[in-house]
Structure 1
Amino acid sequence: MIDKIAWIRIEDGHILSTRSKGRSRYYLPGGKREQGEGDLDTLIREIKEELSVDLQPETARYVGEFHAQADALPEGVEVRMRCYECDYLGDLSPASEIAEMIWLTYADRDQTSAVDQIIFAQLHSQGHLR
């Protein structure tokens, strides 16, 4: 089981997504927790590293937990993604291993990982994602 935390940022029906260097698929921003980190600690650290902004933990809202086959790993390796919405301060800018950031819609879900596709479907069914 791969334990990941992801940031859900939706603006005008589009969701923020990122592509890491050397990858072709898009992924929700976030990453794996380090030893002893809680969900929000992980999220704040990862988003600062990846997108150069400061999340505002007092605005965090839990969106849900999603499970799927991990992308680019052997069959049976599952990813668990705990997702949060959160306001931020600063200007979004790709950093670290992030090659590109992009705003996607539900129609773009085939360009994302299996777990992201599940998240896109839920957000779309709730009317949050175009």
Structure 2
Amino acid sequence: MAAVIVIDGRVLACERSAPPEAAGRWEFPGGKVEPGETDAQALARECREELGVRVRVGARVGPDVPLARGRAVLRVFVAEVLDGGVPRALEHSAMRWLAAGELNSVPWLPADEPIVAELPALLGGIGERSA
């Protein structure tokens, strides 16, 4: 699962620090669904762990993206930060807020690239509040 968090027309991107083959590449925050969790529960937990914020999980973004030689899929959802929270890079080496014209300014992980392609159409309509 991964979260597209948009505030003031910019999407949150996070830089991986590990494993070595992914370090320095960028992704949307998120992680694996644990047994007994729904997609939304997993994404809410991952945002608390990785960013220190509570989120409300909304609509899907883009198609399922196959991972791990087809043994898993990446599902991406819009996520709204609640309670005036401010995301912090608790498990990533860096974070950036990217406008539509800046989406290609970072080297995305291959699994995130199909989602990046969906974002320009979304960035104007979601997340209209201050970071």
Aligned match of 1:82: 75
Q: What's the secondary structure of 1:120's corresponding residue? A: helix
Contact 1:55/1:86 (CA < 8 Å) preserved in 2? yes
For 1:15 and 1:113, locate their aligned partners in 2 and report how far apart those are by CA, in whole Å: 16
Which structure 1 segments of 5+ residues have no match? 71-75
The count of corresponding residues between Structure 1 and Structure 2 is 115
1:73 corresponding residue in structure 2: none
State the match for 2:123 in structure 1.
128
Structure 1 or 2: more strand by fraction = 1
State the Cα RMSD in Å.
Answer: 2.3
Q: Shift of residue 121 of structure 1?
A: 0.9
Q: Deviations over 1:81-106 (max 9, x none)?
A: 111112112121111x2221112333
Q: CA deviation at 1:63?
A: 2.2
Q: Which residue of 2 aligns with 1:99?
A: 93
* Alignment TM-score, normalising by the size of structure 2: 0.74
Shift of 1:128: 2.7
Indicate the SS of the match to 2:31: strand
User: Where does the alignment leave 5 or more consecutive residues of structure 2 unmatched?
Assistant: 125-131
1:14 match: 10
Q: How does 1:1-130 map to 2 (within 5 A)?
A: 5-22=1-18, 23-57=23-57, 60-68=58-66, 76=69, 80-89=73-82, 90-95=85-90, 97-104=91-98, 105-108=102-105, 111-124=107-120, 126=121, 128=123
Matched-pair identity in %:
30
CA–CA distance in 1 between the matches of 2:71 and 2:97?
Answer: 26
SS in 1 for 2:123: coil
- Paired letter, 1:103: W
